[in-house]
Chains A and B, each alone.
Chain A
Amino acid sequence: MATETHEATGHGAAEAADVGMPQLDFTTYGNQIFWLVVTLVVIFFVLSRIALPRIAAVLAERQGTITNDLAAAEDLKVKAVEAEDAYNKALADARVEAQNIVNATKAEIKGQIDDAIAKADADISAKAAEGEKKIAEIRAGALESVKVVAKDTAKEIVAAMGGKADAKSVTAAITARMKG
């Protein structure tokens, strides 16, 4: 058909003249099939001998690397968790320790305070006893003085009234009075 067009218009391209459908030109089949088989065999050997094993090796190696890296990461993670645990434990220990120290100090201070209080109490009671003793002495001293003053006063009063005062009887009388 193409042939007819070209003949009619007078612009015939000679090389295109015998074209129907090139795919149905059986004379070229042998050539195509031969070169196709050659090509496929070459490609197959290139692939199966060189390319595919190489790519498989690279992929396997990468898989290995990734697995190793993941394992390493897992290890590190475990270590990190352990470190955190240790840290927490140390923290808790330190807290307990601090609590203990606080308690101990508190107890000690309390003991000291108690001691001081006890000592102060003792001092105070000693001082109070001493004071009472002094008071008692003073009171005793005062009684004695009163006795002496009363004797003297009684003697003087008796003398002044003109009598002769017997020291012994005055003393006895005053003692009886003061007892009464």
Chain B
Amino acid sequence: MEGDIVQMGAYIGAGLACTGMGGAAVGVGHVVGNFLSGALRNPSAAGGQTATMFIGIAFSEALGIFSFLVALLLMFAV
């Protein structure tokens, strides 16, 4: 019984941790959207900044991956 409650808590925690991935999705969308609006204003400067955009995406996505990892840990490792 106690084990069941612990498992329930772990599953609920995993589900809650997944909300963090939504935040990462918002962040990535924000990065790309802003890049695009800037790029359309000044297309000649856009080419050189693609690498910067990917770095930005990588940073914001990493946090989403962290929350995904927490979810996985709760599901499988706890």
The reply to whether A21 and B73 contact each other, CB–CB distance below 8 Å, is yes
Interfacial residues of chain A within 14-57, with CB under 8 A of chain B in the complex: 19-21, 24
Q: How far is the CB of A108 from chain B (nearest CB, A)?
A: 71
- Chain B's closest residue to A24 (CB) is B77
Give the interface SS of chain B, mostly helix, strand, loop or mixed.
helix
Size of the A side of the interface (Cβ < 8 Å), in residues, is 5
Task: Specify which chain A residues have a CB less than 8 angstroms from the CB of B7 in the assembled complex.
Answer: 1
- Chain A's closest residue to B75 (CB) is A1
Task: Tally A-B pairs: CB < 8 A.
Answer: 13
Size of the B side of the interface (Cβ < 8 Å), in residues, is 6
User: A24–B76 Cα gap in the complex (Å)?
Assistant: 10
User: A1–B77 Cα gap in the complex (Å)?
Assistant: 9
Task: Specify which chain B residues have a CB less than 8 angstroms from the CB of A1 in the assembled complex.
Answer: 7, 75-76
Task: Specify which chain B residues have a CB less than 8 angstroms from the CB of A24 in the assembled complex.
Answer: 73, 76-77
Q: How far is the CB of A19 from chain B (nearest CB, A)?
A: 8
Q: How far is the CB of A42 from chain B (nearest CB, A)?
A: 28
Q: How far is the CB of A1 from chain B (nearest CB, A)?
A: 7
User: A19–B77 Cα gap in the complex (Å)?
Assistant: 9
Q: How far is the CB of B13 from chain A (nearest CB, A)?
A: 14
Task: Specify which chain A residues have a CB less than 8 angstroms from the CB of B73 in the assembled complex.
Answer: 21, 24
Task: Specify which chain A residues have a CB less than 8 angstroms from the CB of B77 in the assembled complex.
Answer: 20-21, 24
- Is residue B72 contacting chain A, with contact meaning CB distance below 8 A? yes
Interface residues of B, Cβ cutoff 8 Å to A: 7, 72-73, 75-77
